[in-house]
Amino acid sequence: MRALIVGASSGLGRALFDGLQRDGHEVFGVARSVPRGGDLTHWIAADFRDPALAADTVSAAAPAELDAVIYNLGVWEPTAFTPEYEFTSQEDTMTVDLIATNVTGPLLLLQRLMPRLLASKRPRVILTGSTSALPGNGRPEVAFGASKTALNGIAEALREGYRAQQLAVTTLQLGSLNTEDSLDVDRDIAAAREGGSLIPVHDVVAVVRTVLGLSSASFVREVVLPALRDERF
């Protein structure tokens, strides 16, 4: 399988890049800057704060054949998930950049890459969402929550628009992640960080492996993956 991962330089994105590459897939990573020591033939530098330019850059550099696109990129307000967050104090430029990266970015990129995906026998799109997009999620971050909710709408429309071409679109509604421990850290050690309140990236990689490994007859519509200790769920 040939996969493109947007937001692949660190954290979950890097875990997906490394995990799928170790599985024998050909993986292309997109990041603001190419990681130190990264194979330049499999990394694309693009900044989705300018989504049109970034989409053009990725489209020009991505391979002619693709089986899967994983849009893992997502930013949030500087004070998000802290007691200091207050909606009315957020800067306009930050909100505009957030929406550009989280919503306009995947829209423009998928517009450009869709013909390549649909040429695959099992085309897959995976959008990394958040439990902040779920009803009753209990989070106050307005722009971030709105942007992740928008991904649900993108996924719904893509499924209907390309059902005949067997495009499988999955949204990952993820809770709080442990992005400090890479796949090289034992999973049980990663799962125990902060009292077991964070999801190790190993678990998300396992889910993505399952999603990508399905036949062309089925797909996973949505994965809701909160931390077990998250009392909101």
Work out the percent of the chain whose per-residue pLDDT is above 70: 99
What is the rounded distance in angstroms from the CA atom of residue 218 to the CA atom of residue 227? 26
Task: Indicate yes or no: pTM above 0.85.
Answer: yes
User: What does the pLDDT look like over 8-52, one tens digit per residue?
Assistant: 999 999 999 999 999 999 999 999 988 876 677 899 999 999 999
Structure tokens belonging to residue 95: 């909100």
Taking phi first (over 0 means left), then psi (-120 to 50 degrees means alpha), and beta for anything else, what does residue 49 get? alpha
Question: What separation in angstroms does the CA of 13 have from each of 96, 140, 195?
Answer: 23, 25, 24
Crossing angle of helices 11-22 and 201-213, rounded to 10°: 50
Q: Which residue has the higher pLDDT, 212 or 36?
A: 212
Hey, what domains does the chain have and what are their CATH numbers?
A: 48-201+210-225 (3.40.50.720)
For 87-139, how does the pLDDT look when each residue is reduced to its tens digit (9 = 90+)?
999 999 999 999 999 999 999 999 999 999 999 999 999 999 999 999 999 99
